[in-house]
Structure 1
């Protein structure tokens, strides 16, 4: 083979590798489908379809139970998974002829598994798979050659898939971290792309854009939490923490970029009040667009291993904006100057992301100090949402099981299977899943019937089954409603292969059982601890205000006495964003609840928006803490007055016997005087940011005084 041909083949292979690894969802779908195909096809060819399909179901459950662990931790998780799968499927086979014992054991074990899943993400995935395996065992027990075969085949299928995944992980141990990091940078890219629409924007457009940004911020913060969990998992398994340094530095970069992206300096329509300012705003919008593109490129770089190339357009756009600002009156463009400074620092951080100083200490992370037993004890309270979820789900299972046995429903275990996938911790999530599950199943049943009529030979149905599984895994974390369609066609094809036309015969029972299981899930959460969000709002708002106070104090401390280790600062920032996320999610959930339960919804939205605005202004102050700014007079006193008012507001929400806190107009007037008497520069702009923080706190007080009356 000539050197030219070798080079062409090598380039083709590299291009294929880059495309293959760029999309983790496709890799996951292909790996799971490969496992299921390898396990099922030989047995189907040999005329033993039950064994092949059961092994494939075990692999499917094993794929759904995967945890984001270091390879060493994954080995431990796989061992626990296989043991749990064996116990669950063995118990179903052993007790099947004793329906009372089986039903009782299944309901009680569900409560135990759900509570154990609350200890951590690793246990949540494993226990979910264990309950799923128990239902799969109920579905297949009637066609099993012997009662014990499923207890052998289902864990073996999961073991094969787990072994294949471990092989990939040992070949590339950092793959999981790369994937989670890339997910975080992609989420930030989406946030930056949306925020670019604010530059410039009209006042009437900003409410909808800010609402979208608040929801996108939830995705970014959740991604940061997942990255933190995986980093801690790797840290527990590695003896040499130095190996984690590059990932810790990327994590710090992502946090820093997020803080700058989430910051807010002034209302965007006020910044576009002149033609010259409008041109600058358009330039800043283009910078945000290019930063979104850069973070997307960095994500792809981490997935594919291709070196990150910083977009050169960012350099000249930033320079063009700076040149334009120099030509304008600096007394009127200070907010724009600070905005440009903020985005320029993000540009430099990405441009020099690999230029780390030698000898710097490894960044520290907040570690979860709570032991598993301590977490489990907290879950045992009847007020805990997960305990209530466990009781609701087990009650759905109990009622469904009684109905199945009483009316001898064909393939009745699908009632429990539907209840498991539809039931969620909150009413809004359950309601959303209900429609997705019912519509997806109905579509899948019709599609499955048509496909089975078109493809009558076994080979075509095996291909259809595997294509359905690949589509299910691909859409699982993207569009659940589409994933349901393909898991329905998968199950119909699988049983058709086993029972020879069984797929056609089970279509109507499948749809009936789906409607029954979904109805049970909806009724249990509608009437048993629905957890209406309006009842939680006072506590959530008070918590969010408290975390913002802590964040503000951490920023002020960094201004007055910068620390070499900013762990405490990063913890305060993280807690503030998590509390803001929880509040935004609660408001979003309230929109899905019955109209009668949407009490003071507009005012809840206003307070949620104001809290997010407060967090954005504090983030703006925090984003400039490293700029060597001159000291601001009485900064601690100003911070104390703001936090005192917010603290009283939180106490008022939790205890109505206290009076609404006084207005802070004197502080606002004092800040206005300082702004007027201060010459143009970064100090003046930081005073404006502090004024915005105080002004937002004042708006929160007015909103509470005028409208908030939820008990």
Structure 2
């Protein structure tokens, strides 16, 4: 083999490795495809399609129920999964001749599985997979040569996939941490890219961009929560905690960068209205784009296992901004200067990341230390939305099974399988899944039938099955409709290989059963214990304002702490404030998909949601400077405590439904304005400016809360 050919092959291998390593979705998809290919190809080519497809379904269930965990945790999860899969499949085989018992078993086991899965991520994976295995057993029970084959083959397929996944994890034990951190930095990069559109700010587009940022913030905070859970999992499974220090450092960096990115030092439309700021604001916008690019590069370096190289262009942009500040003689207490300082610190944090690699950094992370008994007790409260969802899903399974039995529908089990994926805890999520499921199924049936005609051979259909497996796994978390289309093609190929009639006898039943299952899901969530968002909004708004208040108080306490103390209470307060804000944003978003007569307080809810997110941004701006340990003057501390009192009053007003006065906050605003004009020291003046923005939003919140409670009365 010539040297040039070897170099070309090596180059291809390197490109292919980089292609999969830098995308968790692609890596997961190829992993599932290889596992199913190894299981199916030999049996299909030997003419034993039943064994091939049953093993493939077991592997697919194992992949769909896989959770991120330390290798030790995954081994325990895999052992539990294989046992539960075998019990689930065996139960269906033994009860299938007795439809009444099987229907009752479906109802009871579904409720139990949903509730047990709510106890933790590991339990969720096992119980969801057990539900899938039970339904897969029902789908292919008539094709099984003997009653014992499916309880053996389905868990065996899951076991094979689990061992294959564990082997790959053994080659890189820290891959789960790398992926979660990369997902966090990637989400932050998208957030920064959108926020760059605010510099300079177009007043007509500002509201739209703010709404986008609120939705993107949900993804960033979700990624942070995922990182924390995986870090805790690894921390519980290893003795030498020092090996986690680099990941803890990256996690803390991500939190700090997110806080700075989420902060707002001033209303951007006011800054943009001053022509003197125009050049600086455009520079800030370009710098944010460079900053976004740096976060993407860092995420890619984590996935590829390479050393992060900080972009030189970001340093140039930051230096240019600081030069502009000096050129125009802009005081350090001005909002534009504070934004530039924020960007400068973020740039330095990324640039000097590896220089701090020897620094001992072992901050504590919050854990859910509640016992399983206590968590189960909370779930069994009849007011628990999760318990309502468990009963809804159980009833859907029971009704779907009854319809299938009474009308003797061909493959009526697809009704139940459809409800499993379509029926969600909320009406809006179910409605979105319904449209996506129906669209994906129609496209998959039409496309699958056409392709099967082109590839009539067994080898061609096997190839199509593997391609659809890869595409389904790739799109599963990206676009549900596309993933459904490919899993439908997978099903058509599977049954065509099993019985030689996938395109003729499976097409119409698949469509009919999907429609029936989707209808059951939307009817159940519409009529059975509907959890309309307008009923939740008062409590969510009050909770969000309360958590923002706690976050503000934690910041004030941080200013009093000495350097080096663990800021766990502060980080908990900050995360809870973001979670409460995200819950409010999601509720507002969900309301848009609910029936119009269930969208009460729609405008008030939107405004309160918008203002609460603005309040969180201004509080974050006050918090990003806490690590400078600048002492708070008595005047600032007094005003800050007064604002805390007004925020508490606002939360109380919404909680109790009683209208309260708002004259005190107006006086606070007057005092802050007077202090800003009278202060000659830069740092207190900067703090006064942040306090003014917080107090101003608090005043607006209190006024709207009074109007909101008046309407409720």
| Same fold by TM-score greater than 0.5 | yes
Q: Give how far 1:631 is off.
A: 3.0
CA offsets per residue over residues 118-174 of structure 1, 9 Å max, x none? Answer: 011111122111101111100010111111211011000000000000000111100
> 1:313-392 maps to which residues of 2 (within 5 A)?
313-330=313-330, 334-356=334-356, 358=358, 360-392=360-392
User: Deviations for 1:163-188, whole angstroms, at most 9, x for unmatched residues?
Assistant: 00000011110001101110000000
The question of whether the paired residues in 2 share the 8 Å contact of 1:468 and 1:489 is answered with yes
Q: What SS does structure 1 have at the residue aligned with 2:356?
A: coil
CA contact (8 A) 1:198 1:206 kept: yes
Equivalent residues of 1:444, 1:489 under 8 A apart: yes
Tell me what 1:251 maps to.
Answer: 251
Residue aligning to 2:480: 480
Per-residue CA deviation, residues 680-707 of structure 1 (Å, 9 max, x unaligned), is: 6233122101110111101101112234
User: 1:458 Cα shift?
Assistant: 1.0
CA distance in 2, matches of 1:642, 1:248: 34
Q: Tell me, yes or no, if structure 1 residue 445 matches structure 2 residue 481.
A: no
Q: CA deviation at 1:379?
A: 0.6
Tell me if the contact between 1:334 and 1:680 (Cα under 8 Å) persists in the aligned partners. Answer: no
Relative to structure 1, is the Cα distance of residues 260 and 219 closer, same or farther in structure 2, using a 3 angstrom cutoff? same
| SS class of match (1:269) | helix
CA displacement at 1:522 relative to structure 2 = 0.3
* 1:607 has 2:625 as partner: no
Q: Go from structure 1 to structure 2 and tell me whether the alpha carbon gap of 1:66 and 1:660 turns closer, same or farther (over 3 Å shift).
A: farther
Q: 2 CA distance for matches of 1:361 and 1:479? A: 39
Q: Distance in 1 between matches of 2:486 and 2:199?
A: 41
- Equivalent position of 1:594 in the other structure: 595
Conservation of the 8 A alpha-carbon contact between 2:333 and 2:685: no
Q: Is the 8 A contact 2:653 2:706 kept in 1?
A: no
Instruction: Rate the CA distance shift 1:6–1:633 in 2: closer, same or farther, 3 A.
Output: farther
Query: Which piece of structure 1 moves more, 487-496 or 644-653?
Result: 644-653
For 1:612-651, what aligned pairs fall within 5 Å after superposition? 612-651=613-652
Measure, in 1, the Cα distance between the counterparts of 2:217 and 2:601. 24
Q: Quote the offset at 1:258 in angstroms.
A: 0.1
1:255 CA drift (Å): 0.1
Tell me how many residue pairs correspond in the alignment: 711
Q: Secondary structure at the match of 1:181?
A: helix
Measure how far apart 1:634 and its partner are.
2.8
Q: How many angstroms does 1:413 deviate by?
A: 0.1
User: How much has 1:361 moved relative to structure 2?
Assistant: 4.1
1:188 is aligned to 2:185: no
Taking the aligned partners of 2:330 and 2:447, their CA distance within structure 1 comes to: 65
- What per-residue deviation string (whole Å, max 9, x for no partner) do you get for residues 620-672 of structure 1? 01111122435333333222211212212212212125645544111111111
Residue of structure 2 equivalent to 1:407: 407
**CA distance, structure 1, for counterparts of residue 17 and residue 37 of structure 2:** 22
- In the superposition, the TM-score normalised over structure 1's length comes to 0.98
For 1:208 and 1:623, the matched residues in 2 are separated by 25
Secondary structure of 1:381's aligned partner? coil
Q: Aligned-pair distance for 1:11?
A: 5.4
| Per-residue CA distance 1:486-536 (angstroms, 9 max, x = gap) | 000100110011101244211101100000000000000000111000000
Moved more, 448-457 or 187-196: 448-457
Q: CA 1:332–1:249 in 2, change beyond 3 Å: closer, same or farther? A: closer
SS at match of 2:474: helix
Q: 1:278 to 1:33 in 2, by over 3 A?
A: same
The SS at the match of 1:626 is helix
SS in 1 for 2:370: coil
Kindly indicate whether the alpha-carbon contact (under 8 Å) linking 2:636 and 2:688 is maintained by their aligned counterparts in 1.
no
Answer yes or no: is the 8 Å Cα contact 2:658–2:706 preserved in 1. Answer: no
Which residue pairs with 2:129 in the alignment? 129
Indicate the RMSD between aligned Cα atoms, in angstroms. Answer: 1.6
Q: 1:693 matched to which residue of 2?
A: 694
Partners of 2:664 and 2:128 in 1: CA distance: 50
Q: Write the mapping of 1:34-433 to structure 2, written as runs, cut at 5 A.
A: 34-330=34-330, 334-356=334-356, 358=358, 360-433=360-433
- Which shows bigger deviation, 582-591 or 677-686? 677-686
Task: State which drifts further: 387-396 or 496-505.
Answer: 496-505
CA contact (8 A) 2:333 2:686 kept: no
Corresponding position: 1:681 with 2:670: no
Q: What secondary structure sits across from 2:169 in the alignment?
A: helix
Match of 1:568 in 2: 569
Alpha-carbon shift at residue 293 of structure 1 (Å):
0.2
Q: Which runs of 5+ in 1 are unaligned?
A: none
C-alpha deviations, 1:315-367, integer Å up to 9, x for none?
11111111111122435971111000001100000001112174534121111
d(CA) in 2 for partners of 1:359 and 1:312? 25
Q: CA deviation at 1:201?
A: 1.4
Q: Which residue of 1 is the match for residue 524 of structure 2?
A: 524
Q: Which moved more, 1:124-133 or 1:48-57?
A: 124-133
Q: 1:29 to 1:361 in 2, by over 3 A?
A: closer
Structure 1 residues 660 and 520: alpha-carbon distance in aligned structure 2, compared to 1, 3 A threshold = farther
Do 1:70 and 1:233's aligned partners in 2 also have CA atoms closer than 8 Å?
Answer: yes
Query: Contact 2:332/2:682 (CA < 8 Å) preserved in 1?
Result: no
Residues 68 and 176 in structure 2, CA contact (< 8 A), matched pair in contact too = yes
Which stretch shows the higher mean deviation, 633-642 or 520-529? 633-642
Task: Give the Å deviation of 1:306.
Answer: 1.7
Deviations 1:381-422 (A, max 9, x none): 111111111000011111111111111011000000000000
> In structure 2, how many angstroms separate the alpha carbons of the residues matched to 1:50 and 1:199?
61
Report the Cα offset of residue 115 of structure 1: 0.2
Deviating more after overlay: 443-452 vs 215-224? 443-452
The farther-off stretch of 359-368 and 36-45 is 359-368
Question: How far apart, CA to CA, are the structure 2 residues paired with 1:380 and 1:256?
Answer: 38
SS at match of 2:62: helix
Q: Mean alpha-carbon deviation: is it higher for 163-172 or for 124-133?
A: 124-133
Structure 2 runs not aligned, ≥5 long: none
The aligned residue for residue 495 of structure 1 is 495
Displacement of 1:295 in angstroms is 0.3
> CA–CA distance in 1 between the matches of 2:44 and 2:10?
38
CA contact (8 A) 2:333 2:682 kept: no
Q: 1:331 touches 1:680 (CA, 8 Å); kept in 2?
A: no
Q: CA–CA distance in 1 between the matches of 2:3 and 2:43?
A: 44
Residue pair 1:184, 1:224 contacting (<8 A) in 2 also: yes
